[in-house]
Structures are given as C-alpha cells and as structure tokens.
A and B are shown apart, each in its own frame.
Chain A
Amino acid sequence: MLTKRIIACLDVRDGQVVKGVQFQQLRRAGDPGALARRYNVEGIDEVVILDVTATLETRQALARTIDAVAREIFLPLTVGGGIRSEDDAAAAVEAGADKVSVNTAALRDPGLITTLARRYGSQAVIVAIDAKREAGHFGVYVRSGTSAAARDAVEWAREAESRGAGEILLTSMDRDGTRAGFDCEMTAAVSDAVDIPVIASGGAGTFEHFTDVFTRGHADAALAASIFHYAESSVADLKRHLREHGIPVRL
C-alpha cells in the first residue's frame, strides 16, 4: 500500500537552517547537512530545501547547500524558494535536486510549469501555493507571503496540474510556525480538486495534527520544520504514532 509521506523542510538562509513564525522572525536551527543526516536515520521520507530569502541567497551558496544535503541522503530532495526561471531550476537540478518547487515565478508565468515539466518530467515539478483564509475562499499570496496574487488556491492548483505540475505543496500562512495544526479544510479542498499528490504544510505541532491532516485533510504527504529541528520529536516516534492510528507509513 502506498504510504503517507513525512517530509522535513529545511528553510535555509545564508547556508544555515532557520525557522520563522508566519513567515517572519527567523531564528537559526542548525546545519543543513547535519539535520538531513539525522532525519535520514530517523526515517524521514523526503527532504525539502527552501531558500526562505528567495532573492537574496546567491545561486552558488544554494548549490553548496543542496550538495551538502544530497551527499548525506538517498531520498527524494526538493529545492524551492529561489526558482525564478528555467536556468534557476537547471542549477538546482545540477546541484542534486530531484524536484524543484516553483511559487511566485509560476504565478507570474504559468508557462514555466510546462517548460520545466517538458525538460525534467512532471514528477520533478512541484507548484508551491501559499494561501490563507479570506472571505469565502483560500487566497493565494506570493513573494514569501507579502503580496496577494488575487487567485483562489483551489482554482490555481487545478491550473497548475493541467499545466504539468507533478505535486502541489500547499502552505497555510495562517498556521505557518504556529503549531496550531494543519488547515485540514483547505488541504482537503485542494486535494479533492486535483489528481496529483498534495503535500500539506504549516501548523504541525503535535502527532495528532498529522493524523488529522492525513484523514480529515485528505493529504498525501505532510511537511514540517520546527517540530523536527529542535529534536523535540523524532520522525520515528511520529511514524509509530501514525501507524498505531491506522495511517500507512514507511517504518
């Protein structure tokens, strides 16, 4: 049976892992290679490297970080945050990324999704959607959540799929870093609207939150950062908990 995936996110700035609350107040959480090594031993299913400062991190610095992580783990590795063009995607792939995650650039030029899917295959293209609750729908935001895109998350996810995206990484801006739980309603709304896998992100605080997002939230995978970084909870403990609650996971 296909298992539900647990994905660790490394938010990277200046070669170091950092973590903020609702996209602000970044604090340091450690060395990317060392964290990836620990997660691999604990049984993480995938790793995502997100360049949280997007436009500030130079391509070379990001490539060094990707390489440092890729040499530690033989798991799917996604890179996102600084991918503005086909060239940026190519640089990430050359450095060792199996998938690239596009966000702002895909909204500005949705053709980029198709270009990347043709070059690397749909399985290598994740469209990241940052969204929050607004009157009657889930509104999409860009530029690390600083400006409204005037798009609906469900409708944009459908378009991304039709343009060749292989997965959707859906982040609740309302929940990011709050540890108040995933936005299961939003995740289910998007997951039910597309055939490609949806990765839920934003709000993981307890093991029950993961159970919720895999049941009520219809998520195919769940991504978290802070819950794992500070070694409060191990990935192995989380997976045992999920299995005890009837969620299929890789142990």
Chain B
Amino acid sequence: MIALIDYKAGNLTSVRKALSAVGVDFVVPDSPDVCGEAAGLIVPGVGNFAATEAITSEWRAAIGSAVERGRPLLGICVGMQWLFEGSEEAPEVPGLGLMPGRVARLDGDAANRLKVPHVGWNALDFTARASRLLRGVEPGAPVYFTHSYAAPVTADCVASTSHANTFSAVVERDNVFGVQFHPEKSSDAGLQILRNFLDACR
C-alpha cells in the first residue's frame, strides 16, 4: 500500500488515475500515523513552493522516519523540489533537506525564444549514474514539464534536462526519488517510471 500525501496544493485526480492505471493500491492518509504503515510514499505537487508549508512538523517527522526505515519516497514536481533544502520561490519555507542543494528560478533566453515557465515535452538526458527509476526508459525520452523553478544538477542527479539552463529532471539517493516533470501526464514513459517506483516499494 502506497501513501499519497495530500497537502491541498492542486489536485490529485491525475496522479490517482495514473496510479490506478498501473495497478497500485494506494491511500490518501488523513493522519501522519498512516505513513508508518505504507510500503512507499508519494509527495505530488503543483504550483508554488510555499504550499509545502502545509506539510506540518508531524507529517515531516512521519515521512522522515519512514524514509529512515528504508521506505521509498517519490517527490513529483514541487514534491521533488521539497526534497531539497529550500527554494528561491519561498526562501522562508524549509524543504525536507534529504538532498543537498537549493531550488532556483529557471533562466529564460529571449533571443532564442526560451520562455519561463518551461511548459511542454522535453528530453531526459541520462547522467552516468545507474538509476532504478529510469529502468526501461529510453535515454532522451520526452516527458511533460510545467514549472518555473528547478533543482541544480548535483551528485544525486540521474537525468538532467536543458532549457535555457540545465537542471535536475530526475534525482535518486538510496530510497529517495524525485522527478521534476509529471509522470502521470507523460504517457508511456511516465507510467513506466511510476511502475519502477512501485517495484522499489516491493
């Protein structure tokens, strides 16, 4: 059973539908205690980093303790950004700090018509590191992004993506995973990534 963390930022319908499509048994817990019983946790997210402030200290402790006991955690979009130390978008709100680094605003490039927000399908450029999350996904596979902020390319990066600058598209550190794009909206490649996360939870 997977716990899908709902902190009321945006809506979970798409994520729910994609999880159902890949055959996942999941719950949306209304109490942090449930995190301890889950085989894995997913923190989705859209919109502003400040929304993660709704993940209270009780939830942070429950999620942190599940991760310490080896349970896989997947952050999606703002959920991935939250795995880092914090974000330029809301500097007063701390991230979970499981990955070193801070999230920064994407660069634009007016001369080359590269706009921010970065919206649409862009390629996953695999780094040299082996990845469990990207098993069965083709290098260069296009996935769907919609964001204005992103994490830097660090030692935890297993795939980067380039717009005006290059940023972390997929991060992986032991049992902690993050994707800046939306796997639930990224057709076959996205569903494969969700399946890989579920395999990690078994």
Contacts and interface: CB of A to CB of B under 8 A. Distances in A.
Contacts of B34: none
Interface stretch (B59-67, B79-87, B94-102, B117-125): B117-125
Interface string A1-22: 1111100000000000000000
Contact of B117 (A3, A4, A196): A196
A75 B119 contact: no
Nearest to B188: A74
Contacts of A30: none
Contact of A166 (B114, B121, B146): B146
Nearest to A121: B47
B120 A220 contact: yes
A195 B116 contact: yes
Interface string B1-35: 00000000111011001100100000000000000
A74 B113 contact: no
A102 B18 CA distance: 26
A218 interface: yes
B18 to A, nearest CB: 6
Contacts of A197: 115, 117, 119-120
Residue of B13, B147, B163 most packed against chain A (CB within 10 A): B13
Contacts, number: 93
A40 B185 CA distance: 12
SS of B interface (majority): mixed
A135 B130 CA distance: 60
Contacts of A124: 10, 46
Given A120-B10, A220-B120, A195 B47 contact: no
A165 to B, nearest CB: 11
A71 B21 CA distance: 9
B152 interface: no
B48 A121 contact: yes
A74 B142 contact: no
SS of A interface (majority): loop
Interface in A111-130: 120-124
B119 A123 contact: yes
B10 A2 contact: no
Interface in A134-161: none
Nearest to A195: B115
Residue of A4, A71, A122, A220 most packed against chain B (CB within 10 A): A122
A94 interface: yes
Residue of B9, B14, B18 most packed against chain A (CB within 10 A): B14
Contacts of A122: 47, 117
Given A123-B146, A197-B117, A2 B17 contact: no
Interface of B: 9-11, 13-14, 17-18, 21, 46-48, 108, 113-123, 142, 144-147, 162-163, 182, 184-188, 190-191
30 contacts: A1-B162, A2-B118, A2-B122, A3-B120, A45-B121, A71-B17, A73-B187, A74-B190, A76-B146, A76-B185, A95-B13, A96-B14, A120-B10, A120-B46, A120-B47, A121-B9, A121-B10, A121-B46, A122-B47, A123-B117, A124-B10, A124-B46, A167-B119, A195-B108, A197-B115, A197-B117, A197-B120, A218-B113, A220-B119, A221-B120
Given A123-B47, A123-B146, 12 more contacts: A4-B120, A74-B21, A76-B144, A93-B13, A95-B13, A96-B13, A98-B185, A122-B117, A218-B113, A220-B119, A221-B120, A250-B142
Interface of A: 1-5, 40, 45, 70-71, 73-76, 93-96, 98, 120-124, 166-167, 195-197, 218, 220-221, 250
